[in-house]
Amino acid sequence: MPPAYDPLPGFQPPAALANAYPLLGAVPLDTPVPLEVLGRLWRSSSSEAALGTARAFASLGILRLASLEDGSCWALPAPQHVAHAAAGWPDMVAKVHRQLVEAYSRRGTVALDALRDDGYIIQALSHHLIGSGQLDSLRRLLMNPGWLEAKLHAYGVGAVVRDFRRFLQEAESEEEALDVKLLLQAFQLSLGAAMEHPNARMLREQMLARLMAVAAGGRLKEWFAEQTSKCAAESMLAANSRLLHLMPRSPSLAQAGGVQRMTLRGHVGPIPRVAIAPNCCEVVTISEDGLAQVWDMNIGDCVMHLARNAPLTSVGITPDSSAAVVAAADGTAAVWNLSTGQVTHNFKGHTGRINCLAIDKQGIRVITGSEDHTGRVWNLQNGECEAVLQGHGGASGLVGSVLDVCVCADGTLAVTVSDDFSGRVWDLDEDGEQLHVLEGHGGWVTSAAFVGTSHRVVTTSHDATARIWDALRGRCLFVLTGHSGRLNRVSVDPGGSWAITASDDHTARVWDCETGELKLALYGHTAHVTDSAITRDGRKAITVSGDGTCAIWDMDTGEREALLEGHTGEVSAVALTQRGRFAVTAGEDFTARVWDLAAAAERTQPAPTHGGKVSALQSLPDGQLVVSAGDDGRVLLWDPVEGVCLKQLDGHRVGIRFMRVSAEGDCVLTGSGDRQINHWNWSAYSAAASVVGVRRSLERREVMLHTLTTGGSGGGQNFCIRANTAGAGGGGACIIAGNTANIAPACSTGSQLFSTGGTATTAGVATNVDGGDRSNRSSEEDPMAALAALKPPGTGDNVNAAAAPVITPSGSEQRAAIRQRLQSSTADSPCSTLSPHGGTLKTCKSLLEVVSALHHDPLRASMPAQQGSRVKHMAFDASCRTAAILLFDSTVSVWDVVSGKCTAQLIRRGERDATRTHSGGVNAVYLTRDGLTAVTISKDNTARVWDVAAGEVFGGSGEGPNLSRD
């Protein structure tokens, strides 16, 4: 282990303080310590003596003292003295760490996760555990979501992440650290929900939801099972005392170890730009909140920040990763040392907002571009302005803001582009002399980038074109046409082979920089594309958009490999690491996000989801299926047990606003604002759900019986459960758990034997576990009839049961067809056989697998969309055959959904006759279950009850029911 850094070599404390000084090495840096704790370390005889020692240290500048309103006294040792003490007396410091942990835990009688918080120990516990060599104890704490959540709400995100950092820095192997890294990722992904709802105490459930894929893969499996059990137990014990957090049934939330590695939270304003240090260790984000923050790429915590007095607009990092340059809207820029956190230079000279900056690859100069129509060349070493680049805007001065700037690879040329429709080439070796004016664009020139190590430069414009120029000669080589909207930005791959342009037309296009030809057009975003980047090997491109998504593209085929979702607003910028493994995106949702592009390539196709808000959600009456409708016009059918989408249907062109499930449960009506109503029939899927639901029920029963098994071939405990049967013979269902060798006589003749841990034989008629002979029951009465051709649980090689009962197919032809289809598609059984503990346990196929064989279109009828006034409200009857439609022009009509015909016009357009109808606008309409009566409510403070068949208010002209607030 390398020796600790000593910032004060040779320093010796005064003789009077020589015994107390080394103990300061056990205090964590920048953490206030109660004087009571220091007094115990110093073995002071009284609090007054401890205060005297502290004041002596304070007089030497070794620590600072402060008194709080409650009368307590706290000390903050100087960082350099803490480091010197830790480096000079390591053995003594390690002993102090152990003493502190033992004192707080009362020599192990108090669990570390149950320590009383005195304002110090919870913050410093990880520091002392590492100092005393108790890395395993710290690991157990970090794997305790309850402790993490308590510390999160008490001391904030930084304090918790700091504990993870300390552990990961001390972990001896990558394998040892991997589990903790996954927990850290789950913690970071869960922060949004946990911080938004602090009283719900949901961190454990959130972290479990983010680790479902990891646990399924084998990692953290035991921990996951233990924490899941705790969640279940706590929810039962505290069901009436606190809010409960629902656990998802599938890994539908962003997963730890997946594509989204971390979310960088800390800004309180939009993040316009992000930069990654060439060493790939730090990420710098800037925000309109005036803060620049440096983030650790490995851990994801903010290690330092710089506050300015104006919104920040641009950022760049020097090639050696030692410093960052940040520019602000007040016309200033600053050089920020990333090692010390100090500002080494302030650049002042611009009289307007700085829009852009670029650092040369030699790390010698930085060029800034401003709304004052100038660019400036600054020396990074001494902070002096070497040249002012003037020329944009001409004599008029109305336009000329510099929107972007770039520097060629050898650092000799710079190109600035402006809203004056031009670009300009500058010679940096000749004091910023203007060499050429690049004219030809018919709109603002928004972005520029040099091509590889050449002097070619690509510019983009609001005229929907890009141009490739020879900057040395000032000639246009190629005009890149094809976009139909304004171009926002251009990026060039490091090798200089390809340029990618981002446009308002929702696309990005890849161009060959050598020939100017179009290579690929990337379609898929639903809003303007704001930025893009190409990996160093040229195999992948990433684009970000105003639709809040990031897309990864295959540069060979132009196919979209993955769509990265997580931002809740426009994504404004993207940056790639040197090797292209990670991408960092900046968004208007105040966050930056780190994505693992390698994991994105391995990710399977995402499950179907709504592309916008979910506007309606209802379960079918038996609760085995759930239907959702969304603003994207889609209808999705869900299996609520597994949490998976069974069917996705695009039935509406606009968002669905209204939905009704019929009383019988087979039919669903959906309505959208364009007056379209779709009639869906889910009977085939309901039948499939019933088949699988019964199998699931039996499987759960067998699993429950397995829990009663003690195992072994002899001496096993036996359980016999007898149920009365309703059929002739009076037999019972005998269920045996354990060794069944000597139990067969206990079951009466005519019973079915289900064994979970041995073998047995019986004779008689097969019966259900809940009793009753099924041979005389129809499929309409018995949902198990659809499983007639399937072997019931407990049958097989180990059980010699009687022949299966004959079930008469007395149901409808449709259900018979469904049964036949299900039976033929499940290869003799929708269940696969497992044999835990030597028993016979059948595991049911998922409902998704069963319904995949159904090619049944549930859309039965559709009332097409109509032009004119849009829908304000809809109502449906219980049978889902009748619909009442209210338009924004206050007309109300009743329709037969199946035939698509209007059966009654209750209120006509423009009708305001108070004797027959409302005198004000109508707000809503409702139908009774039988569809024979309608109710309208209005802005005239009345409600009217209508006879739908007659098309009149009950009782005639104004004499019937007229419900008024008066």
**What are the tens digits of pLDDT across the range 153-181?**
999 888 999 999 999 989 888 877 889 99
- Residue 756: its pLDDT value, please? 33
- Residue 733: its pLDDT value, please? 36
Contact 665, 620 (CB under 8 A): yes
Around Cβ 461, how many Cβ atoms within 10 Å? 24
What number of helices (H) and strands (E) belong to the chain?
16, 57
When mean pLDDT is compared over 541-555, 603-617, 696-710, the highest value belongs to 541-555
Tell me the angle at which helices 135-142 and 121-131 cross, rounded to the nearest 10 degrees. 140
In the sheet with 466-470, reading across from the earlier edge strand, the strands are 445-450, 456-461, 466-470, 475-480
**What are the tens digits of pLDDT across the range 572-607?**
999 999 888 899 999 999 999 999 988 876 665 667
CA distance 950 to 850: 47
- Residue 961: its pLDDT value, please? 52
Tokens (6 digits) for 259: 């594509």
Ranges 240-249, 617-626, 825-834, 869-878: which has the least confidence: 825-834
Contact 401, 355 (CB under 8 A): yes
State the DSSP H helix or E strand holding residue 464, giving kind and residue range, or none if neither: none
**DSSP codes, 584-637:** EEEETTSEEEEEEHHHHHHPPPPPP--SS-EEEEEE-TTSS-EEEEETTSEEEE
- Residue 442: its pLDDT value, please? 95
Nearest partner of 224 among 260, 251, 258, 194, judged by Cα:
251
- Residue 604: its pLDDT value, please? 58
Find the angle CA(672)-CA(678)-CA(682) to the nearest 5 degrees. 130
% the chain with pLDDT above 70: 82
CA distance 792 to 833: 12
Quickly tell me which residue has 């022949």 as its tokens.
803
**What are the tens digits of pLDDT across the range 78-108?**
999 999 999 999 999 999 999 999 999 998 8
- Residue 882: its pLDDT value, please? 94
pTM strictly above 0.85? no
Residues in contact with 675: Cβ distance below 8 Å, sequence separation at least 6, in sequence order: 863, 865, 866, 868, 870, 871, 885, 887
Q: Is 762 exposed, middle or buried (0-12, 13-18, 19+ CB in 10 A)?
A: buried
Rg (C-alpha) for the chain, rounded Å, is 36
Contact 571, 583 (CB under 8 A): no
Distances (CA, A) of 234 to 153, 230, 681: 20, 6, 40
pLDDT band at residue 966 using 50, 70 and 90 as cut-offs? very low
**DSSP codes, 680-706:** EE-HHHHHHHHHHHHHHHHHHHHHHHH
